[in-house]
Structure 1
Amino acid sequence: MNRFLSLSLVAAASVLAGCATPSDGSDQTTHYYANRPASRPVAGVRVNPAPPKAERGPIGVARIVYFDFDKSTIRPADRSVVEAHANYLRARRGESVVLEGHTDVRGGREYNLALGQRRSESVKKAMGLLGVDTSQIEAVSWGTEKPASLEQTEAGYQLNRRVEFSYR
């Protein structure tokens, strides 16, 4: 018991000694910000904002190809979009694109991932047939992970059945 009492007294004394030490705040962030010298503008230095990032890909061409329900074939209405992107990549061998396949929410997770992959691979194959070096193209699937629309209507589902062109 005597030993317990001694340890308790030593611990209490240590705590009180730590609290009794006055603090001027010199080691605290608030002290720094309260006492830092006022900043002055440097004469003759002009800061210009960074230029906007240049858009990659063909200008004025859609970056999305849509698909019919449960299909991975490119619709005739979207073939011109694929051709325009193929022409762009053929002329610029240093550029690359990621084709991101998407689906609507109907179907299981694994099925939708596979369907999104088939859609992006379908666009990649079409671009390869149009003369694009397929090493410039990466085909991936997001399945239902990045919906364009949350509406559970046919119009909302249509917006989600797509492949997006994402230039890197």
Structure 2
Amino acid sequence: MQMLKYLTLPLLAVSLVMTGCASRKPAAEISTGVTGGNPGTTVSTDGLSEDAALNAQNLAGASAKGVTEANKAFLAKRVVHFGFDSSELSNEDYQTLQAHAQFLLANFNSKLALTGHTDERGTREYNMALGERRAKAVQSFLISNGVSPNQLEAVSYGKEMPVNPGHNEAAWKENRRVELNYEAVPPLLK
């Protein structure tokens, strides 16, 4: 019986780690409705899930600090794509990530979730690890550009959340990505 206890704990720990990476819920995409006569200060969150309500409040508290005309287009881009079986950042993504790093440096209360995704090919375990490597590659770039690790969260969904359900190279190319999801104080791009 004692031997069984020692075997069960490591197995339980491994299973928690493997499932913990995908346990985080993605931020819901919502459009916020402003209530009352003072736009931008009160957001109606009636009927929204907890995640959606938090998103609505964060959108209402968006920041223009760190947003310039030069980096608006880069801040609007919230997806970084990767090559097949790769976690290497492309040259095209450096300016986008640099703009997000500058915004995060100017807005210490901003929080960014980096969600790594893969295409459908490969095992679930392999794709969870590849999605994590992709998210960590973006996280490392941002940290090397001065962003506090406390502002970042790297999560892998592997192949579980494709944006394109197709089974061809065009779909796979879209699904190999890291999404940059602001969870607190996103850039105000208006």
TM over 0.5: yes
1:68 aligns with 2:83: yes
Following the alignment from structure 2 to structure 1, what is the Cα–Cα distance between the partners of residues 110 and 43?
Answer: 20
Which amino acid is 1:77 matched to?
A: E
Root-mean-square deviation (Å) = 2.0
Q: How many pairs does the alignment contain?
A: 122
Equivalent of residue 110 in structure 1, options 125, 135, 159: 125
In the TM superposition, 1:27-46 aligns within 5 A as none
Counterpart of 1:124? 139
Which amino acid is 1:105 matched to?
A: E
Counterpart of 1:151? 166
Query: Which runs of no fewer than 5 residues in structure 2 stay unpaired?
Result: 1-34, 45-55, 184-190
Equivalent of residue 98 in structure 1, options 93, 96, 113: 113
Query: Which runs of no fewer than 5 residues in structure 1 stay unpaired?
Result: 1-46
Following the alignment from structure 1 to structure 2, what is the Cα–Cα distance between the partners of residues 88 and 152?
Answer: 36
Following the alignment from structure 2 to structure 1, what is the Cα–Cα distance between the partners of residues 160 and 102?
Answer: 30
1:82 aligns with 2:101: no
SS in 2 for 1:99: strand
Following the alignment from structure 2 to structure 1, what is the Cα–Cα distance between the partners of residues 93 and 170?
Answer: 17
CA shift, 1:48, in A, is 3.8
SS in 2 for 1:79: helix
Counterpart of 1:14? none
SS in 2 for 1:122: helix
SS in 1 for 2:154: strand
CA shift, 1:81, in A, is 1.1
CA shift, 1:51, in A, is 4.3
String of CA shifts for 1:63-92, please: whole Å, max 9, x gaps: 000000000010111111111111110111
Identity among equivalent positions (%) equals 39
String of CA shifts for 1:30-58, please: whole Å, max 9, x gaps: xxxxxxxxxxxxxxxxx749548427586
SS in 2 for 1:165: strand
CA shift, 1:140, in A, is 0.4
- Which stretches of structure 1, 4 residues or longer, exceed 6 Å deviation after superposition? none
Counterpart of 1:5? none
CA shift, 1:116, in A, is 0.1
SS in 2 for 1:124: helix
CA shift, 1:120, in A, is 0.2
